[in-house]
């Protein structure tokens, strides 16, 4: 089958297995060059400092920051990893989701490298999947010849819906403002066309549902389950991800339904941190930079802002993708020498958050990005913004526009 991208309103409806696999391989190459230096997983595990991860669980492992986190833990630090995600497999007649191919590629690369890894497909919100993860952790520990004690948990779920295992009710998140309607610009990355959008405010039920799906409750349930099963290291470290962004995006993001959910995520992080404060454990919410994801492409203002931001950050040599961000999180925050034995040494802001958006939020970057947003119109959008870069990153996230892939060659969509 020859697979070409199917784009509708900034949504990509398919993916390419070979492109996804090569993109994963290049992320692995990056961390092996910048963190591990090509050292084998066995030597990494044998010689790693006491505070670096040996056994990591990544909830939401298949795309974006979750995938990059798993790659960094495994190929950058030699950790055995268990990944959890819910993806649609490919078949002979239809491509699977990008995350399906990413997981296949990660597993294949880990096997070739001799790196213990197990990927679970299922509903991460369910009790059954949590129990399956406990069993997988014990099994992977045997394979890695290490104690069955998780010392790193990455919580990076991006599901739009959640079925509560307690009552069976399905909750659906929304991206809406709170209180007042929101009007702003968005850009079609395929054509460069700019249009105005208006989003009506969320109702109380929609706000509550978004918090239920994207807040911190399930993160806490994962910690509870793993702790009760006896598979948590006393010095466990756990991180969840959030975004704050510039004030121009706050009505639809920080002060909207997503922001309300992220406030609950921060609440959960603080509660987990208090719970493990006496055992050298730690929990953080990491505020990451704006990136192109399958979700961000359809959030009003974000594509336009990101396109302007990318141009500025690339000109200043400050631009990072998911893998560069996660390498910096591990190397310069979570596992700096001073923090090996004392999580209080992890650099944080006044709210206890890790800030990887520090380069994005620099005054000069924000000033120049705002200026570009003021002058960019359809006639000059490819001059004053990086819509082309946004488009590339979006396509690459689905396995398209990856250099080195022959997109005219037929592929088997059931695998890689």
Q: Which residues are designated catalytic?
A: 253
Q: Are 12 and 393 in contact (CB under 8 A)?
A: no
d(CA 218, CA 265): 9
- Give CA separation, 252 vs 181, 200, 377, 387, in Å: 9, 10, 22, 21
What are the angstrom distances between the C-alpha of 285 and each of 31, 76, 272, 276, 329? Answer: 22, 21, 11, 15, 11
What distance in Å separates the CA atoms of residue 277 and residue 143, rounded to the nearest whole number?
Answer: 30
Can you tell me the distance from the alpha carbon of 61 to that of 201, in angstroms, rounded to the nearest whole number?
Answer: 32
- Dihedral over Cα of 326, 329, 332, 336: its sign: negative
Q: How far apart are the first and last CA of the chain?
A: 13
Under a CB-based contact definition with an 8 Å cutoff, are residues 89 and 411 in contact?
A: no
């Amino acid at each position: 089958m020859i697979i070409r991208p199917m784009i509708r309103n900034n949504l990509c409806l398919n993916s390419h297995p070979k492109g996804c696999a090569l993109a994963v391989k290049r992320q692995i190459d990056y961390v092996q060059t910048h963190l591990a230096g090509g050292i084998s997983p066995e030597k990494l595990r044998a010689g790693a400092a006491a505070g670096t991860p040996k056994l990591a669980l990544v909830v939401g492992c298949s795309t974006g920051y979750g995938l990059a986190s798993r790659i960094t833990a495994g190929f950058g630090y030699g950790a055995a990893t268990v990944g959890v995600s819910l993806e649609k497999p490919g078949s002979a007649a239809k491509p699977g989701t990008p995350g399906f191919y990413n997981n296949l590629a990660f597993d294949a690369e880990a096997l070739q490298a001799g790196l213990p890894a197990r990927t679970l497909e299922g509903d991460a919100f369910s009790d059954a999947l949590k129990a399956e993860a406990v069993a997988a952790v014990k099994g992977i520990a045997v394979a890695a010849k290490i104690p069955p004690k998780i010392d790193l948990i990455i919580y990076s779920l991006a599901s739009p819906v959640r079925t509560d295992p307690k009552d069976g009710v399905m909750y659906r998140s929304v991206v809406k403002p709170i209180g007042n309607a929101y009007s702003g610009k968005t850009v079609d990355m395929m054509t460069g066309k700019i249009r105005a959008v208006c989003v009506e405010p969320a109702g109380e039920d929609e706000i509550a549902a978004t918090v239920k799906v994207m807040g911190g409750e399930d993160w806490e349930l994962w910690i509870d389950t793993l702790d009760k099963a006896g598979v948590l290291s006393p010095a466990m470290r756990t991180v969840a991800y959030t975004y704050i962004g510039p004030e121009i995006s706050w009505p639809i993001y920080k002060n909207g339904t997503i922001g309300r959910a992220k406030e609950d995520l921060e609440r959960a992080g603080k509660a987990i941190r208090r719970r493990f404060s006496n055992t050298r454990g730690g929990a953080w919410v990491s505020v990451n930079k704006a990136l192109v994801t399958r979700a961000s492409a359809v959030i009003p203002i974000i594509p336009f802002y990101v396109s302007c931001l990318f141009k500025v950050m690339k000109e200043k040599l400050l631009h990072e993708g998911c893998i560069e961000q996660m390498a910096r999180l591990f190397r310069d925050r979570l596992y700096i020498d001073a923090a090996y034995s004392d999580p209080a040494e992890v650099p944080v802001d006044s709210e206890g958050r890790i800030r990887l958006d520090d380069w994005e939020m620099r005054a000069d970057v924000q000033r120049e990005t705002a200026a570009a947003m003021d002058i960019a119109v359809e006639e000059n959008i490819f001059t004053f913004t990086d819509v082309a870069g946004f488009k590339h990153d979006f396509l690459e996230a689905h396995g398209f526009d990856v250099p080195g892939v022959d997109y005219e060659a037929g592929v088997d969509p059931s695998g890689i």
